[in-house]
Structure 1
């Protein structure tokens, strides 16, 4: 009887040890899987707008949101939003929802292709997205004046990797 009880205790201890080892292996496996999925997610993550300067935090957030949506869509669905004119139109439409009394001017070009500075105007943002620079600024909308957008680079297509 004592011998059977000792065997039982040894077996329970061995099972407990095996269970602990199994739990540790599962835990380590989950940690490795989590690290791999986190690394894969960050590798697959698309670029984001990087704010350089802005006239206000709220306008910067509105522009950053519109820029991220427009450029991500352009990269994912180039036939749907593949030119500067497409992105420009989308950003203007999004900004008009909040700033209906403003006329927005949007300049998009490759990062090293131009430099620009706007120091007046109520709303102004300079941002980059991947290899493109985006400048958005406003002028007051005058109902009597028809603005000429003169989109010189409107048919420029974006070149993604």
Structure 2
């Protein structure tokens, strides 16, 4: 990382996630050409996401001792009693902070059961849909773009509308 004031290199490291977030940022005084490439932009985003996730998984695999994975006694016992030792490779335990891991999904299930215990069974199942022709989306598109070219804008506007609806209900 380089200090923009004096041009000297600092001792800080920049993660690839921060780097790509910086590359995808929309700035008022400069034109970000990546945002104009439609499907190629989407493919770039997917490829960079896969690269970031691979780095995260590699970090988790190489730092199992730092993550204290040896303390997961119940998980180790389950593998010993239920698993076939011939089919087991090197054990890598994903933490609950890794989205989509079994422990992460178990926490979500436990949270859902807590909500049901506290509030009772749900009476309604409500779904929300996003209209790609919302004025908030159309205003943010670059000339010649459609909402399917910029999923980032569509998702951001949808989240803002959901938040405002939840705040209105509360």
> Which bracket does the TM-score occupy, shorter chain normalised?
under 0.3
Report the TM-score, using the length of structure 2 for normalisation.
Answer: 0.20
Higher helix share: 2
Bigger relative contact order, structure 1 or 2 (CA pairs below 8 A, ≥6 apart): 1
For the pair shown, the structure with the greater C-alpha radius of gyration is: 1
Higher strand share: 1
Report the TM-score, using the length of structure 1 for normalisation.
Answer: 0.21
